[in-house]
Amino acid sequence: MSASLNAATTATATADAACDAACVEPLQVLGRDVTVPLVTGGEVTYAALDYAASAPALQRVWDDVAAYAPYYGSVHRGAGYLSQLSTDLFEQSRATVAEFLDCRPADQVVFTRSTTDSLNLLAAVLPADCQVFVFETEHHASLLPWRDAQVTYLNAPRTPGQAVATLERALADREPYGPALVCVTGASNVTGELWPVKELAAAAHAHGARIVLDAAQLAPHHPVSVQELDVDWVAFSGHKLYAPFGSGVLAGRADWLQEAEPYLAGGGASRKVARREDGGVDVEWHTTAARHEAGSPNVIGVYSIASACRALTEAGFDTLVAREQHLIAKVREGLAEVPAVRILSLFGDDAPRVGVISFVVDGWNSSHFAAALSAEYGIGVRDGLFCAHPLVRTLLGSAPQEPGECGAPEAEPGERSLNAIRVSFGAGTPDEHVERFVGAVRELVAQGAQWTYRTEEGRCVPAV
């Protein structure tokens, strides 16, 4: 085959792939037809582009929850039909999540309230003298729970290879050379960039450490295999996985979970409680996942996560990823045409990523820009430091000790402020939403806001 024919064939295949991705319909989500008022007059369909904070519920998830709701009953505690049905549903959901994550046969799936709760649970069961290693680039949910451990905070790497090398050096040099845990994100909630999880897991295990994957931003966009990545635990939230009903997951090795005191003490976690002759009580705790699930479980939240896992699996991650890459290209190419826009990145333009993009605009306060997108175009994005203060400060070139508040502006509209704008999207995002967003950015940069804005209770809002 000639070089020109080969190039033409490749170009045709690329075009066909792009067409295929563009032609795939987004998954149906709640709120897709909601309209919102504009300060300039009229209404417009709301463009929800803040998936990295909370994704809308899949219609499939909502329908499944609504179908189950009349049969809701207490879990593990009742002899009645609805209680038995709810218990079966709860435990089937545990099996569904284990399959979704490709867990090992002996792994436990513990249901929590969120990723934050999951990682705080893991922090509570660390063995004595366990050291924790975490990059400064992590979300606060991964950065902050380790209050009772010796923590080594690693500087932000600029390449995936540098991340692995940095971790290897830190683990090799640790004193004493005892139990250790590495906590790392799968995809950044600021830049969307994918981290070299499999390589970091290999480095951790080579140095006698374990690793927990914060998959909050990864699981909604890519398949996550505990066995393929060889991670020890995975944590994620339902509300980012199109199941916003107040549940999360910690899945992985059982030994540390079984050996520690229960995360919460109470009914459900206890297998047997008896009075002693001296007046006290003896407690025998469960060794299953129930050990850390005290209290009445959130069966609807758990079932919604299982429903989302099934829906994403049935839709096919190959299809979902291809369509999301199509949207990412639209946004990045559109923003690249606006000279005033600077996209934030650790690993560079060619790094693989999910649909999370943060940027700043020259001459604009990010909170002012985000407020104008909402009020004048009906587009919901996020502004601030995204609960990842050290990372955003590093990317913006600021001193790491400067104070800041999650999502709160630090200057009046029009003044330079230490914050950024984040646009994020996923399986439920139609092309029109990202096209409207890119057009709005161009228009705001070229023409300015059509309305005036003021700061009210820490937020930039339209002046009435």
Q: Catalytic residue positions?
A: 387
Asked if 27 and 436 touch (Cβ cutoff 8 Å), the reply is no
Cβ distance 203 to 164 under 8 Å?
yes
From CA 389, how far away is CA 408, in angstroms rounded? 11
Instruction: List b or e across 41-76, with b for residues whose CB sees 16 or more CB atoms inside 10 angstroms.
Output: eeeebbbbbbbbbebbbbbbbbebbeebeeebbebb
DSSP string, 14-29: HHHHHHHHHHSPPPPB
Give, rounded to a whole angstrom, the gap between the first and last alpha carbons of the chain. 67
Structure tokens at 128: 């004595």
- Name the nearest CA neighbour of 307 among 118, 111, 115, 97: 97
206 Cβ neighbours under 8 A, 6+ residues apart:
168
- Contacts of residue 188, defined as CB under 8 A and 6 or more positions apart, other chains included, come to 137, 195, 217, 346, 356, 388, 391
Which residues, 6 or more positions from 136, have their beta carbon under 8 angstroms from its beta carbon?
143, 153, 154, 155, 156, 390, 391, 394, 400
Tell me which DSSP letter residue 83 carries: H
The alpha-carbon radius of gyration of the chain (Å, integer) is: 24
Question: Can you tell me the distance from the alpha carbon of 226 to that of 348, in angstroms, rounded to the nearest whole number?
Answer: 27
The whole-angstrom separation of Cα 424 and Cα 426 is: 7
184, 211 Cβ separation under 8 angstroms: yes
CA 367 vs. chain centroid, Å, equals: 22
322, two tokens: 């291809």
